[in-house]
Amino acid sequence: QTGLKTKRIGQEIEYVESCASTQIIAHQLAQEGAQDGTVVLTETQTAGRGRMARKWDSAAKKGVWMSIILRPAVAPQKAPQFTLVTAVAIVRAIEEVTKLQPKIKWPNDILLNGKKCTGILTELQSDADGIQALIIGIGLNVNQEKEDFDREVQDIATSLKMASGETVNRQKLVQSVLFYMELYTQMYIDEGFGMLKILWESYSTTIGQPVRARMTNQTLEGIAEGITEEGVLQLRTSDGKLHGIYSADIEMADS
Ligand code: BTN
């Protein structure tokens, strides 16, 4: 009994007690033709991975570690927004299941009290015909205590339990995340990014703030003015120029 209220996402669920990374399994399943909406869920990962080749701490039975395979019929340039849509879905799910009010830091971090409680990693499987599958990895810190995190991240990571003082039912959270994923990815596919962009901006800590964007080759400081329909961050530097940021690490400029 999964208690799912969805029709697409989570109709197939691959549950494994432990694995290296749900992303690896999801890539494999997608390669073998897994259907749209297939979910890979685990209790613990020995090699959980984050963006920019970082490792993702995945304490056993304390979080939601999952990957969702989507096969949307959209152009490749519409893929990055799925990460933003996913962030909105997760915020809504956390709001539904807890009393917390999470914020989004562009592009894909979900914060509580300024610390990260969720990361999203979107990977593509594509060929000459276009996108074959999107693999959306979600790492949601649910019931960890501070000492459950690796020492290096203890000051920057948090969990729903640490922020609310209450143990959170992980099954309810998964149901809710999948429900909102189905709702919002469908909305994005059918209607485009417009409404979701407004929702995303309303949850964002980044917009309207002075930020520092660290990229591979340079660092830019300025005001984050908004995101475009393509999900690109618009950063205005003090010389008045508007820069489109596709990928970076963002921090508040006054910190
Ligand atoms: C980030 O913020 O760097 C993204 C973290 C994504 C972590 C999740 S946990 C489930 C899935 N499997 C992985 O190996 N990574 C993602």
Domains of the chain, CATH where assigned: 13-203 (3.30.930.10), 210-252 (2.30.30.100)
Report how far ligand 1's centroid is from the alpha carbon of 146 (Å). 19
Report how far ligand 1's centroid is from the alpha carbon of 246 (Å). 19
Output the residue whose Cα is nearest ligand 1's atom 3.
50
Question: What is the DSSP-derived secondary structure letter of residue 138?
Answer: E
102 lines ligand 1 (CB under 6 A): no
Residues near 206 by Cβ (< 8 Å), separated by ≥ 6?
104, 105, 106, 224, 233, 250
50 belongs to an annotated ligand binding site: yes
45 belongs to an annotated ligand binding site: yes
Report how far ligand 1's centroid is from the alpha carbon of 236 (Å). 30
pLDDT given at position 53: 86
Total number of residues shown for the chain? 255
State how far the Cα of 240 lies from the Cα of 226, in Å rounded to an integer: 15
86 lines ligand 1 (CB under 6 A): no
Best of 56, 115, 149, 174 for a ligand 1 pocket test (most atoms within 8 Å of beta carbon)? 56
107 lines ligand 1 (CB under 6 A): no
Please, how many CA atoms are within 13 Å of residue 81, restricted to the half-sphere of its CB? 28
- The DSSP bridge pattern shows strands 13-19 and 39-45 to be parallel
Output the residue whose Cα is nearest ligand 1's atom 8.
139
Nearest-atom number in ligand 1 for the CA of 24 is: 14
Tell me what the mean pLDDT of segment 136-147 comes to: 97
Tell me what the mean pLDDT of segment 50-75 comes to: 94
212 belongs to an annotated ligand binding site: no
Split at pLDDT 50, 70, 90, the class of 255 is low
State how far the Cα of 166 lies from the Cα of 159, in Å rounded to an integer: 10
Does position 3 have pLDDT exceeding 90, yes or no? no
Residues near 75 by Cβ (< 8 Å), separated by ≥ 6?
130
Structure tokens at 136: 């959306």
Does position 1 have pLDDT exceeding 80, yes or no? no
Q: Model confidence over 80-137: pLDDT tens digits? A: 899 999 999 999 999 999 999 999 999 889 999 999 999 999 999 988 888 899 999 9
SS3 state at 251:
strand
pLDDT given at position 58: 94
Indicate the helix (H) or strand (E) that contains 22: helix 22-31
Burial (Cβ within 10 Å: 0-12, 13-18, ≥19) of residue 51: middle
Indicate the helix (H) or strand (E) that contains 89: helix 81-97
Nearest-atom number in ligand 1 for the CA of 42 is: 10
Best of 16, 28, 49 for a ligand 1 pocket test (most atoms within 8 Å of beta carbon)? 49
Tell me what the mean pLDDT of segment 208-215 comes to: 94
End-to-end CA gap in the chain: 47
3-state SS string over 154-193?
Answer: CCCECCHHHHHCCCCCHHHHHHHHHHHHHHHHHHHHHHCC
Q: Model confidence over 163-208: pLDDT tens digits? A: 999 999 999 999 999 999 999 999 999 999 999 999 999 999 989 9
Tell me what the mean pLDDT of segment 142-165 comes to: 96
Mean pLDDT of the chain: 94
SS3 state at 124:
strand
What ipTM describes this predicted complex?
Answer: 0.99
State how far the Cα of 173 lies from the Cα of 70, in Å rounded to an integer: 20
Split at pLDDT 50, 70, 90, the class of 60 is very high
In sign, the C-alpha dihedral spanning 61, 174, 197, 208 is: negative
Tell me what the mean pLDDT of segment 38-54 comes to: 95
pLDDT given at position 6: 87
